[in-house]
Amino acid sequence: MKRWTRRLWKPLLCVLALTAAAPVRLAGQSEDEAKPASDNPVVVIETSKGKISVELWPEDAPETVTNFLHYVDTGFYDDTIFHRVIEGMLIQGGGLTTELIRKIAGPPIKIESNNGRLNVRGTIAMARGEDPDSATSEFYINLSDNPDFDRTVKRVGYTVFGQVIDGMQTADRIGGVQTSRRGDVGDIPILPVYVETIRRAAAAPPP
C-alpha cells in the first residue's frame, strides 16, 4: 500500500470516496472555467489565495449536498483553514481552526460514493474516517485524477459531490504551498491558508 494511502486513515488528517466524463466545458473555455448546470447550486470559497467556485450535484449526492450547504448557510466554514495539502494530489479543509482545533460538527452522514462520480481533477469530495458513514464537514478538492479514492467492488471510496467551475488555478496555488509536520500531523501548510468564507453564489439575473 502506498505511503500516502495509509495516511488517509489517520484520525486528524484522514481524507476523511463525476461520471466517467470530464467536467462540462464549453468550446473555448479553459480548464479553469466550466459551465454549471442551470439548476445546480454554486458556492464560492473565498480563501487567502483567491476564490474557488464550485458547482454542487444534488441529484447525484442529495444528502451530501444538503449537509454541505447546511454548513455553508450557517457560516461553519468561516475562518477555518486548509489543514492538509499534498501537492499535485489534493487540498483538504472544512473542520479545523488556525490552531488545529477541530470544530464541533454535526452528525455524520451516509456515504453516497455509489453515484458513478469519479475523483478526477477539479472535483470536490467528502473527507471521512475509516467508517464509510463518518463524513461530517471536511471536504477535499482533487488536484489530479485520484482513482484510488473511487468506489470499486473492493472498496467503498469517497463521495464526490461537485466540481470546480472557476478558480482551479487558486486550488493549484494552495496545492503548491510549503508544508511541514506538527507532532504526529503532516502535510500542514507552514503559513496558514485560510478559508475566509464559503457562500452560495448570487443567482444570475434572468436573460
What is the spatial distance between Cα 65 and Cα 59, in angstroms, rounded to a whole number? 9
Domain regions of the chain by residue span: 3-16+40-177
**CATH number, domain 3-16+40-177:** 2.40.100.10
pLDDT in tens, 152-185: 999 999 999 999 999 999 999 999 999 999 877 7
- Percent share of the chain, pLDDT over 70: 80
**pLDDT over 90 at 114, yes or no:** yes
Q: Residue 166 forms beta bridges with which residues?
A: 33, 53
What is the spatial distance between Cα 45 and Cα 84, in angstroms, rounded to a whole number? 16
**pLDDT over 90 at 96, yes or no:** yes
